[in-house]
Amino acid sequence: MYDDEEQGELLDRFKELWIAHPAFMVTFTSVIVVFLSWTIRDSLKIRDIQQKHVFITGCDSGFGNLLAQRLHRKGFIVIAACLTEKGCQDLKACTSPTLKTVILNVTNPKSIDKAVEYVAAETGNAGLHGLVNNAGRATPIGPTDWLDMEDFHRVLDVNLIGLIEVTLKFLPLIKKARGRIVNVASVMGRLAFGGGGYCLSKCGVESFSDSLRRDMQYFGVKVSIIEPGFFKTGVTSLEIIEKDLHRLWNRLTPDVRCSYGDKYFDKYLKVQRLSMKTFCSADISKVTNCMEHALAARYPRTRYGAGWDAKLFWLPLSYAPAFLSDILLKLLLPRPLAGGRALAKNKVDV
C-alpha cells in the first residue's frame, strides 16, 4: 500500500505527534486499545455447544419460536417450552426430532414443576447451560383508569411472578452447569408509558435480574437482560390489543367514558395503529441475535438493547429528565381531546 519512504514519513509524523501532544496521544491510543480489546473479548465464543442444554419459555411464536429454531440449527440441545400443544407440534414440524418440546404454563406451579422434572432428567449430571425467560404477554394495556386489579394480575402473573417462579425452580440445574439466565425485559421496563401491568412487570424483571446477577456471580452463573424496542410479535399484535381495548372501553362507567369524550376511543386506536406501524420492526432476529450472544459468548453482556429504536431513542430517553420524556411521550401518545376539557368546564359551570 505504502512504499518505504511514505511509511517512514508516517512514522515520523506519528512520533512528532507523540512529542507535541503526549496527553492527547495517550488518551487516543488508550481509547483505541480499550475498544479493540472489548470487541475481541465480546466476540469470543464458548466451546462444546453440542453438549449444552438450553431451555426456552414461550416458544409458541415470536422471539422464543425463532430462538429455538436458531439455537437448534447452531447445535445446542434445545428444550422448547410452549403454552399450547399446537405450539409444540408446529415447532417440531419445522425442526428435527432432536429438538425437545414441553408444555409450560408459567402461572401454574404444577406445570413448572413438571417442566423442571423433565429438564432435570434430560440434562442429568451436566445441568442446564441456559434458561431463557421469554414467555410474556402485553394485554390488558390501556389508560390506567380503564383497568381493574384483575387486568394488572393477568400481565404481572405471567411476565413477573411466573418468570420469578420459573427462575427459582430452575436455579439448581443452572448452578450445576455454572450456566446462564437470559431474561426478556423491554424498553418499556426502563421508560414507563401506556398503562397496565406491562411496564411494571418489565421494570420488575430488570430489578429481579439485577439482584439475581449480583447474588449468582459467586457461583459462575451469568444473568443477561434483553431490552427489545418495538417488534412485530404476538405481544404487539394490533388485533389482540384492539380487541382487548374494545372490551375495556365498553365496560367503562359513563363518568369515566365522558371524561375522555366519545371520539377518544377511535382516535386512540388510530394513534395506536400509526405508532405500531412506525415503530414496530419485522426483523425479530435482532432480538434473537442478542439472546444467542448471551448464551454462546464467553463473556455475555449484562444488558442488550435490541433494535435501533431501543438503542437510539427509548434507552437514551430513559436517562432524560422527566420533564423532557413527558413532553416527548405526550407528543407521541394519544390524549383525551375535547372530552377532558369539556368535563373540566362543566365542573366549573356547576
C-beta neighbour count of 115 within 10 angstroms: 22
264 classed as catalytic: no
Residue numbers 264-323 binding ligand NAG by CB under 6 A: none
Residue 153 as a binder of ligand NAG (CB under 6 A): the answer is no
One of 65, 105, 183, 201 touching ligand NAG (CB under 6 A)? 105
CB of 104 to ligand NAG, least distance (A): 9
- Are 228 and 187 in contact, with CB atoms under 8 Å apart? yes
CB of 243 to ligand NAG, least distance (A): 17
Which three cell numbers mark 310?
431501543
Helix (H, G, I), strand (E, B) or coil at 279: helix
Task: Single out the residue of 202, 190, 200, 209 nearest to residue 151, CA to CA.
Answer: 200
- Closest to ligand NAG by CB, 6 vs 85, is 85
- Closest to ligand NAG by CB, 160 vs 294, is 160
CB of 100 to ligand NAG, least distance (A): 20
For ligand NAG, what does the binding mask look like between residues 223 and 252, x meaning CB under 6 A? ------------------------------
**E strand intervals along 253-309:** 303-306
Is residue 278 packed enough to be buried (19+ CB in 10 Å), middle (13-18) or exposed (0-12)?
Answer: exposed
C-beta neighbour count of 196 within 10 angstroms: 23
- Are 43 and 299 in contact, with CB atoms under 8 Å apart? no
Residue 108 as a binder of ligand NAG (CB under 6 A): the answer is yes
- Are 102 and 54 in contact, with CB atoms under 8 Å apart? no
Residue 83 as a binder of ligand NAG (CB under 6 A): the answer is yes
Residue 159 as a binder of ligand NAG (CB under 6 A): the answer is no
Indicate which residue of 2, 118, 198, 218 is catalytic. Answer: 198
CB of 82 to ligand NAG, least distance (A): 10
CB of 157 to ligand NAG, least distance (A): 8
C-beta neighbour count of 211 within 10 angstroms: 10
Binding part of the chain for ligand NAG, among 100-108, 147-155, 239-247, 276-284 by CB under 6 A, reads 100-108
Which three cell numbers mark 14?
506519528
C-beta neighbour count of 86 within 10 angstroms: 10
Residues that bind ligand NAG (CB under 6 A): 83, 105, 107-108
Q: Which residues are catalytic?
A: 198
